[in-house]
């Protein structure tokens, strides 16, 4: 039985412990850019129960009018761990245009970091639409862009009354890729002296061919009630269904500039950066010991599907084994933010100074309208140690012991020693035979259990995949068609965890790709014709990586990525 004193001590600790923790103060805006006259939502959160205490919001009054301020609290216990938060949600109306700083806010001894808000000049809305209780509008941030350049398309629903049972249909754009930028945003604004509640959705549109791109109207259908009574039976004029849509938007799409290098992938972006890191952190290499170089490409205003692969050529001094890239995309303040991370396993084969070539990516700056190059400079590293083969060859052999000068006593006992050696040998053989018989008997009795254990084991592992990839790279480097075929099949078995992959047709079935099919036919021709001596593996790896990446993108493609526009 637990004593009352222990229970009291536990309760005191639960009350005192939060006082000793450092309180986290988090401040965030629901949008980094708004139009003049629109409100923005500021959320302030602390990881404790406030018990009547609140942050000091007075610094906000210099540049904002605080329209509303509501508070919410949460409390939970998971696995004995108590968590609680207090939040304040403020609707702020900026008093001026331009860049406005959200000043640091104070809660207890904690002070938040400042934020930045951009208040743009308000775009005029059609006065005919603004006379209605509900209407829609759409706009783009640019009407003249390059092919594959990002266009931010914004849909807004303005309403002075509630809309019920609504159904939203986004536009379907031909010859363009369209992706939603986050969830819908809700705020209030004033148009022609009237106050509206606004629901906003943003999309990133990437035109795929030059010419005129037409974005058809987005549409919403719903029911409105003009009075307090929602019964159609007694008031036929009270509730009615309405249909609203945005105006059609046209964009001029320019082709790729003539001065852009033809041998470089076309990358129209707002910014593009390269960065690197190493595992281990230092770049002191040891012969035969692998290190990993992480190279990350980050582009703003580009779809993740167009990020090019990063190459890092090997040399006589180092072997380089690329891994599968990690490709992600996030929503930034200016649209899509795509990232491609490449990992290269580097194994040095020679001691001395080794220079790794620079990594460069050519791109087009859509803001400055010029060609730019993101670059990681060449890096010289020191490799210590010696090649493993050289160390093996250099191992000294132990000298044979010289025979003693007086061999006569040894020769007298040679016959007796030989007899005992034969007896010992026969005994050893009989002992081993007995052990073998006992082992077979034990194995037969355990055979059903062992068979079940074998069935549960799997031949697939991440380590086996890496080994197959490295072996394929080595076979292609040596232009060994037979080894390349074997290691390619093994690599696909490991990646797709299927023992049913037996030949190159099975490989192509997993990753259908025309370029890969051409390379596999060339590999088959090298294996089964007299042209095997002329086969080179230089292009096979690129085709395999491209086909695998294409398959990965197809598997990760979401069914639907457009958020519904529904007022809450």
Please state whether beta strands 144-146 and 249-254 pair in parallel, antiparallel, or not at all (unpaired): parallel
CA gap 476, 494 in Å, rounded: 19
Segment 482-514, tens digit of pLDDT? 888 888 999 998 999 888 898 888 888 899 888
More confident of the two residues 151 and 393: 151
pLDDT of 370 higher than 80: yes
- pLDDT at residue 528 greater than cutoff 70: no
Lowest mean pLDDT, pick from 9-13, 130-134, 477-481: 9-13
Of 13-27, 134-148, 284-298, highest mean pLDDT: 134-148
The owner of tokens 């919410």 is 72
Check whether 454 has a pLDDT greater than 60: no
Across the range 309-319, mean pLDDT stands at 83
Residue 557 has pLDDT above 90, yes or no: no
Q: Quick count: other Cβ atoms within 10 Å of Cβ 535?
A: 19
| Block residue for tokens 């790794």 | 356
Give every CB contact of residue 270 below 8 A, 6+ residues apart in sequence: 150, 300, 301, 334, 335, 365, 366, 367
Band of residue 395 on the pLDDT scale cut at 50, 70, 90: very low
Token digits of residue 530? 């007299």
Distance CA 357, CA 354 (A): 10
The pLDDT mean for the chain works out to: 79
Residue 558 above 70 pLDDT? no
- The 10 Å CB-count burial string (b at 16+, else e) for 219-246 is bbebebbeeeeeeeeeeeebbeeeebbb
Triad 428, 430, 431: Cα angle to 5°:
65
CB-CB contact of 325 with 308 (8 Å): no
Between 566 and 441, whose confidence is greater?
441
Mean pLDDT on 48-77: 85
pLDDT confidence band for 234 (50 / 70 / 90): very low
390-393, long-range: CB < 8 A, 24+ apart = none
Does position 139 have pLDDT exceeding 90, yes or no? yes
- The pLDDT of residue 365 is 96
Q: What is the DSSP string of 30-88?
A: S-SEEETTB-EEEEEEESS--TT---B-GGGGGTEEEEEEEEEEEEEEETTEEEEEEEE
Across the range 323-352, mean pLDDT stands at 89
Q: Vertex 193, ends 187 and 199: CA angle to 5°?
A: 20
488: closest CA among 443, 439, 547? 547
Confidence class of residue 131 from pLDDT cuts 50, 70 and 90? low
State the average pLDDT over residues 435-459.
Answer: 58
Tokens representing 558 are: 């979401």
Overall average pLDDT of the 103-128 stretch: 80
Q: How would residue 220 be classed by pLDDT, with cut points 50, 70 and 90?
A: very high
Token code pair at residue 138 = 């759409």
Phi and psi, residue 135, nearest 5° = -155, 165
**Average of per-residue pLDDT across 321-343:** 90
What distance in Å separates the CA atoms of residue 33 and residue 93, rounded to the nearest whole number? 13
449 pLDDT band, cuts 50/70/90, is very low
Compare 41 and 82 and report the one with higher pLDDT. 41
pLDDT at position 429: 72
Say if residues 129 and 135 touch (Cβ distance below 8 Å). Answer: yes
Q: Are strands 285-286 and 326-332 parallel, antiparallel or unpaired?
A: unpaired
What pLDDT digit, counting tens, does each position of 290-311 carry? Answer: 888 899 999 999 999 899 999 8
Of 52 and 368, the structure prediction assigns the larger pLDDT to 368
pLDDT on residue 99: 92
Rounded to the nearest angstrom, the gap between the alpha carbon of residue 297 and the centroid of all alpha carbons in its chain is 12
Task: Say which residue, 37 or 412, is predicted with more confidence.
Answer: 37
**What's the distance, Cα to Cα, between the start and end of the chain in Å?**
52
Residue 406 confidence (pLDDT): 44
pLDDT category at 458 given cuts 50, 70, 90 is low
Confidence (pLDDT) at 401: 42
Pairing status of strand 151-159 against strand 134-140: antiparallel
Query: Given pLDDT bands bounded at 50, 70 and 90, which one contains residue 561?
Result: very low
Residue 368 has pLDDT above 70, yes or no: yes
Model pTM score: 0.58
Check residue 255 and give its pLDDT. Answer: 96
Sheet holding 40-46, edge to edge: 25-29, 40-46, 81-94, 64-78
Looking at the predicted structure, is the pLDDT value of residue 440 above 80? no
For the chain, helix (H) and strand (E) counts, in that order, are: 10, 31
Q: How confident is the model at residue 7 (pLDDT cuts 50, 70, 90)?
A: low
pLDDT greater than 90 at residue 320: no
Higher pLDDT, 103 or 83: 103
Q: Are 202 and 154 in contact (CB under 8 A)?
A: yes
Higher per-residue pLDDT: 544 or 284 = 544
Cα–Cα distances in angstroms (integers) from residue 79 to residues 12, 82, 83, 182, in the given order: 19, 8, 11, 33
532 DSSP 8-state letter: G
What percent of the chain has pLDDT above 70?
77
């Amino acid at each position: 039985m637990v004593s009352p004193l222990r229970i009291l001590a536990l309760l005191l600790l639960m009350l005192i412990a939060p006082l000793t923790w450092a309180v986290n103060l988090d401040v965030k805006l629901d949008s980094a850019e708004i139009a003049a006259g629109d409100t923005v939502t500021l959320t302030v959160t602390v990881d404790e129960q406030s018990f009547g205490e609140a942050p000091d919001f007075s610094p906000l009054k210099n540049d904002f009018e605080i329209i509303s301020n509501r508070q919410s609290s949460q409390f939970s216990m998971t696995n004995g761990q108590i968590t609680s938060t207090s939040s304040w949600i403020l609707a702020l109306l900026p008093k001026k245009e331009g860049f406005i700083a959200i000043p640091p806010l104070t809660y207890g001894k904690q002070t938040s970091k400042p934020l930045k808000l951009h208040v743009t000049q308000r775009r005029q809305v059609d006065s005919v639409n603004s006379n209605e209780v509900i209407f829609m509008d759409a706009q783009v941030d640019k009407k003249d862009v390059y092919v594959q350049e990002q266009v931010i398309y914004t849909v807004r629903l303005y309403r002075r009354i509630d809309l019920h049972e609504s159904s939203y249909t986004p536009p379907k754009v031909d010859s363009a890729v369209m992706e939603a930028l986050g969830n819908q945003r809700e705020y209030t604004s004033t148009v022609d002296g009237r106050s509206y509640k606004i629901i906003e959705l943003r999309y990133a549109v990437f035109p795929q061919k030059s010419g005129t791109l037409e974005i058809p109207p987005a549409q919403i259908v719903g029911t409105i009630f003009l009075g307090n009574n929602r019964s159609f039976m007694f008031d036929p004029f009270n509730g009615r269904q309405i249909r609203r849509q945005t105006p059609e938007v046209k964009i001029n799409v320019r082709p790729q500039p003539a001065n852009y290098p033809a041998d470089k992938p076309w990358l129209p972006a707002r910014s593009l950066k390269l960065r690197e890191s190493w595992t281990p952190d230092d770049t002191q290499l040891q012969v035969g010991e692998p290190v990993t170089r992480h190279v990350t490409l980050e582009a703003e205003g580009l779809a993740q599907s167009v990020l090019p692969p990063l190459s890092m050529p090997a040399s006589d001094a180092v072997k380089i084994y690329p891994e599968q890239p990690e490709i992600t995309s996030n929503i930034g303040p200016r649209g899509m933010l795509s990232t491609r991370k490449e990992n290269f396993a580097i194994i040095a084969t020679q001691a001395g100074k080794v220079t790794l070539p620079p990594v460069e990516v050519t791109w087009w700056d859509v803001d400055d309208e010029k060609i730019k190059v993101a670059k990681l400079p060449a890096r010289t590293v020191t490799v210590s140690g010696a090649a493993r083969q050289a160390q093996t060859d250099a191992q000294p052999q132990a000298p044979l012991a010289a025979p003693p000068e007086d061999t006569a006593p040894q020769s007298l006992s040679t016959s007796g020693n030989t007899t005992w050696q034969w007896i010992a040998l026969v005994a050893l053989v009989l002992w081993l035979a007995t052990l073998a018989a006992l082992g077979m008997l034990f194995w037969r009795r355990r055979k059903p259990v062992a068979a079940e254990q074998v069935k549960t084991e799997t031949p697939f592992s991440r380590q086996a995949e890496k080994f197959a990839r490295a072996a394929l790279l080595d076979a292609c480097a040596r232009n060994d068609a037979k080894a390349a075929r074997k290691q390619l099949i093994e690599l696909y078995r490991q990646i797709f965890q299927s023992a049913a992959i037996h030949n190159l047709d099975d490989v192509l079935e997993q990753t259908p790709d025309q370029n890969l099919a051409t390379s596999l036919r060339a590999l088959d021709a090298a294996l089964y014709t007299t042209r095997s001596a002329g086969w080179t593996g230089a292009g096979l790896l690129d085709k395999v990586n491209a086909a695998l990446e294409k398959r990965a993108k197809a598997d990760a493609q979401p069914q639907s990525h457009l958020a519904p526009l529904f007022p809450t």
